[in-house]
Amino acid sequence: LAAGGTTKAPRRLIHADISGAHLLLDDERRLSGVIDFGDMLIADPALDFAGILNHLTWRDLERVWAHYEAPLDADVERRVRYYIEVAPVFQVVYGADGVGPQERANGVRRLAARAAAARR
């Protein structure tokens, strides 16, 4: 986990709940706003970038990075990929923690798909 996660990552004030429901896009799929800042905290900005990537594309994330005002460290892309890889685990926990069975089922499905792909 130390190699994948945030032990040496920079810390910034982040949204901490970036999801498709909190990203506002205009008719041309350009980011026009972000809502719901109730979960903000000081953490690795790659967490927010992974949240964006979980709902949009790498191209969209690169466009966000082009407008990101804080410096991006050389390791940010690797950490984003790590957080995307572990996202299904969070879905399972989050779903079991009261969000609902559908979220948990989605996480289990994604974990099963990754396990099947790893066996190939």
**pLDDT one-digit tens code per residue, 67-119:** 899 999 999 999 999 998 888 888 888 777 766 788 888 888 988 988 888 88
In a domain, 18, yes or no: yes
Domain assignment present for residue 70? The answer is: yes
Instruction: Give 6's Cβ-side CA count (13 Å radius).
Output: 14
User: pLDDT at residue 2 above 70?
Assistant: no
- Which residue range(s) make up the domain with 34? 12-84
* CATH number, position 59: 3.90.1200.10
Instruction: Give 38-66 pLDDT, tens digit per residue.
Output: 999 999 999 999 998 888 889 989 988 99
pLDDT of residue 4: 64
Give the model's pLDDT for residue 106: 85
CA dist., res. 9 & res. 43, Å (int): 8
Residue 69 inside a domain? The answer is yes
Rounded CA gap, 102 and 65, in Å? 31
Question: Does 23 fall in a domain?
Answer: yes
Domain-located, residue 50: yes
Q: With contact defined as beta carbons under 8 Å apart, do 113 and 105 qualify?
A: no
42 belongs to a structural domain? yes
Q: By three-state DSSP, how is residue 34 classified?
A: strand
Q: Is residue 104 part of a domain?
A: no
* pLDDT tier at 6, thresholds 50, 70, 90: low
Q: Is residue 31 part of a domain?
A: yes
**7 or 109, greater pLDDT:** 109
- Would you say 11 and 41 are in contact if contact means Cβ atoms under 8 Å apart? no
The pTM score is 0.78
The number of domains in the chain is 1
Q: Which of 1-5, 16-20, 33-37, 74-78 is predicted with the least confidence, judged by mean pLDDT?
A: 1-5
